[in-house]
Amino acid sequence: MPNRSTGAPPLSPPHSLAWKMGLATACRLVLNTARRFAYPFAPVLSRGLRVPLTAITSLIAVNQATSIIGMFFGPVADLLGYRLMMLAGLGMLAAGMFAGGFLPFYGVILVSFFLAGLGKSVFDPAIQAYVSERVPYSRRGLAIGFLEFSWAGSTLVGIPLLGLLIDRLGWRSPFFTLGGLGLLGIVALRILVPDDGKETGTRNVSMGFWRTWQRLGKERTALGAIGFSFFVSVANDNLFVVYGAWLEEAFGLSIVALGLWTSAIGMAELSGESLTAVLADRFGLKRSVILGLSLCSMSYLLLPVLGQGLAPAFGSLFLIFLTFEFAIVSFLSLCTELLPGSRATMMSGFLAAAGFGRIVGALIGGPVWLAGGILATGLVSGTISGLALVSLVWGLKGWRRR
């Protein structure tokens, strides 16, 4: 088992880790697709369940809120082992999706999305910590960037495939498909990924849990990372929840055209993740985050100016999501080294802050846009991104890799 007190990665053949990362990325693709497919197919789910569209948006909110709950599983992963929590996350996904498929009632679907979201919130910190223990810091951007391909892949591959399933087999088919893939992932992980856990009593786990969070609360770097995660997520969702309404109102785009733009966002995310994998280690993770966030902040502020025409508006949005993804994935890579002995705890705290930030951004996005249009949206997102940059610089001041 790796030494968690030092964060030193164990010696393992590169090809062995490569296929494990490939398996983990495939599992994350399933989890991310389950997390995101309610967005484009909300009207279909609404008709299938015979509930108002607002009831489906409530499902989405519950799904997002699980990021906050997931923070409590990070210390458990550090104490009991990362593979165990990866299996638990996939188990939650499979249970939730099968329940929704077999029992197509609104209350059950609500629980289904809750379990799917919680499964992702449990799985993500565990796999990020698992890989980070086994990959040298000099290659961390490549490794985390590779894992994050699954986020863009859910938009570019997962959701379109679910659309075909819904068209041919009905609205319940994604639940059975995702549940089956979750079970397949459990079997594959159990067979192909060795156990990294250790035996410990419930009392020791409980005591270790609180000590870990107390330590995190005293670390300036950890607090700066959490602040960065919160502010950058508020800024992004402040725009994300209204960009469709803005494009429709300003340029008269159809639903089909808006759907095509969603694919373009997926391409922007993939481009940002690819840049992280290729450039971040060479340029330096800290400098990559600062550069990406600075460009993203400027893109927000320039959006009202460049958004006067359709082509410049698309270009501005593409640049925003590309630089945002580059900054986020680069910082995820950096974040894995801030607390080497408690990697999963640090990552779950980061993701919980991001989830809370997305909830806040979604709540303020509509009122901000209604009050001042895209000018207000761009200014607010740009300003809040500036706060994320301040939090980042404050947290990393004087930080040196241990």
User: Rounded to whole angstroms, how far apart are CA atoms 148 and 76?
Assistant: 23
pTM for the structure as a whole: 0.76
- To which H or E segment does residue 10 belong? none
pLDDT of residue 392: 92
* Mean pLDDT of all residues belonging to the chain: 83
Residue 225, C-beta contacts closer than 8 angstroms, at least 6 positions apart? 331, 335, 338, 346, 349, 350, 392, 395
Q: Which amino acid is at 360?
A: V
Return the structure tokens found at 367: 């009122």
Over the range 359-379, which residues count as b (16 or more CB within 10 Å of their CB) and which as e? bbbbebbeebbeeebbebbbb
Q: How confident is the model at residue 340 (pLDDT cuts 50, 70, 90)?
A: confident
Over the range 49-67, which residues count as b (16 or more CB within 10 Å of their CB) and which as e? bebeeebbeebbeebbbbb
pLDDT of residue 174: 93
User: Rounded to whole angstroms, how far apart are CA atoms 362 and 358?
Assistant: 6
User: How much is the average pLDDT of 217-223?
Assistant: 80
User: Rounded to whole angstroms, how far apart are CA atoms 129 and 147?
Assistant: 12
pLDDT of residue 391: 94
User: Rounded to whole angstroms, how far apart are CA atoms 316 and 325?
Assistant: 14
Ranked by mean pLDDT, the top range of 7-16, 78-87, 97-106, 130-139 is 97-106
Q: How confident is the model at residue 105 (pLDDT cuts 50, 70, 90)?
A: very high
Q: How confident is the model at residue 198 (pLDDT cuts 50, 70, 90)?
A: low
Q: What is the pLDDT of residues 246-288, one digit of tens each?
A: 887 888 776 566 666 767 888 888 888 888 888 888 888 889 9
User: Rounded to whole angstroms, how far apart are CA atoms 388 and 328?
Assistant: 11
Domains parsed from the chain with CATH numbers = 12-218 (1.20.1250.20), 219-397 (1.20.1250.20)
CA atoms within 13 A on the CB side of 142: 11
What whole-number percentage of the chain has pLDDT above 90? 32
Residue 394, C-beta contacts closer than 8 angstroms, at least 6 positions apart? 220, 224, 227
